């Protein structure tokens, strides 16, 4: 039997009641067979300090190791002032360093995002995509998962109740897995 494909989920929010963390929890129950979605919480990641790049603080070392061992990354980003939260950018920056030792390089990635606004993180996702491309990640373009008016789609326990959002997340996960398998095929020249 093949080992499971591991997707690592990273939400750009530390908030206990975060819709983005809740969306990742929902995604854990929507993965295709033979796939596991593990999450990483960013609470212990300190502010980036280039003087501490090498060796990095223990929480950063753990994050880098988890990114390296994952087959693909799924980001769940809030939108802060039309961009990605500092918490997420900070973690992305750490994992990209020191120069020449980025753990993001060539890693398949997808994104989704939940906001209480009516654009569902569209602007934040555009900016996240730009950063991930800069890091030479293999970013899935579609389907887009923009969870607008998130307060209506989750119940008071942070459970995703909106069926159409669940379906979109399910499609995103399937597309990410297909994408990861295709990139890892020997003819793609990328080893797992
Ligand atoms: C600093 C800050 C800036 C925000 N800016 C936006 C924004 O530009 N667009 C938007 O739709 N929501 C914005 N919001 C509201 C977020 O969508 C909302 O707080 C959401 O719940 C954050 O995601 P989370 O639930 O995963 O923590 C902002 C919230 C904060 C705290």
* pLDDT per residue as tens digits for the range 34-93: 999 999 999 999 999 999 999 999 999 999 999 999 999 999 999 999 999 999 999 999
Provide the angle, in degrees to the nearest 10, between the axes of the packed helices 19-28 and 163-184. Answer: 70
Give the position, in ligand 1's atom list, of the atom nearest the Cα of 21: 26
**Please, which residues have CB within 8 angstroms of residue 178's CB and are 6 or more apart in sequence?**
none
DSSP states along 70-116: -SEEEEE---BTTB--HHHHHHHHHHT-STT--S-TT-EEEEEEE-S
- The enclosing H or E element of 152 equals none
pLDDT tens-digit readout, 4-47: 999 999 999 999 999 999 999 999 999 999 999 999 999 999 99
Q: How far is the CA of 131 from the centre of ligand 1 (A)?
A: 19
Show contacts of 55-62: CB within 8 Å, 24+ apart.
56/94, 56/97, 60/94, 60/95
Query: What are 151's two structure tokens?
Result: 């307060």
Residue 17, preceding peptide bond in cis (omega within 30° of 0): no
Q: How far is the CA of 123 from the centre of ligand 1 (A)?
A: 12
Which residues are bridge partners to 78 per DSSP?
none
Residues in the ligand 1 pocket, defined by CB under 6 Å: 13, 15, 18-20, 78-82, 114-117, 119
Q: Please report the pLDDT score of residue 169 as a whole number.
A: 98
Give the position, in ligand 1's atom list, of the atom nearest the Cα of 22: 26
C-alpha closest to that of 74 among 158, 133, 12, 159? 12
- What DSSP state is assigned to residue 13? -
Residue whose CA is at the smallest distance from ligand 1 atom 10? 117
Q: How far is the CA of 126 from the centre of ligand 1 (A)?
A: 15
Q: How far is the CA of 149 from the centre of ligand 1 (A)?
A: 11
Residue whose CA is at the smallest distance from ligand 1 atom 11? 117
Q: How far is the CA of 176 from the centre of ligand 1 (A)?
A: 26
pLDDT band at 173 (very low <50, low <70, confident <90, very high): very high
User: What residue spans define the domains of the chain?
Assistant: 5-187
Residue whose CA is at the smallest distance from ligand 1 atom 1? 80
Q: State in words which class domain 5-187 has.
A: alpha beta
- What DSSP state is assigned to residue 54? S
Task: Let me know: does 111 contact 143? Beta carbons within 8 Å.
Answer: no
Q: How far is the CA of 83 from the centre of ligand 1 (A)?
A: 10
- CA distances to 70, 132, 152 from 74, rounded to whole Å, are 10, 12, 23
pTM summary value: 0.96
What does residue 97 show for φ and ψ, rounded to 5 degrees?
A: -120, 165
Task: Let me know: does 80 contact 117? Beta carbons within 8 Å.
Answer: no
pLDDT band at 187 (very low <50, low <70, confident <90, very high): low
């Amino acid at each position: 039997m093949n080992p499971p494909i591991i997707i690592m989920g990273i939400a750009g929010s530390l908030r206990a009641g975060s819709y983005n963390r809740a969306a990742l929890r929902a995604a854990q129950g929507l993965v295709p067979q033979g796939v596991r979605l593990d999450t990483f919480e960013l609470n212990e990641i300190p502010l980036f300090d280039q003087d501490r790049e090498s060796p990095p603080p223990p929480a950063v070392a753990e994050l880098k190791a988890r990114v390296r061992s994952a087959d693909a990354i799924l980001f769940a980003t809030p939108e802060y002032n039309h961009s990605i939260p500092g918490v997420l950018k900070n973690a992305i920056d750490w994992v990209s360093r020191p120069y020449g030792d980025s753990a993001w390089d060539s890693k398949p990635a997808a994104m989704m995002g939940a906001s209480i606004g009516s654009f569902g993180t569209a602007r934040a996702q555009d900016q996240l995509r730009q950063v991930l491309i800069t890091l030479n990640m293999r970013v899935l373009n579609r389907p887009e998962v923009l969870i607008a008016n998130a307060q209506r789609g989750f119940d008071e326990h942070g459970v995703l109740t909106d069926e159409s959002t669940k379906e979109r997340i399910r499609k995103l996960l399937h597309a990410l897995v297909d994408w990861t398998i295709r990139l890892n095929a020997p003819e793609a020249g990328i080893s797992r």
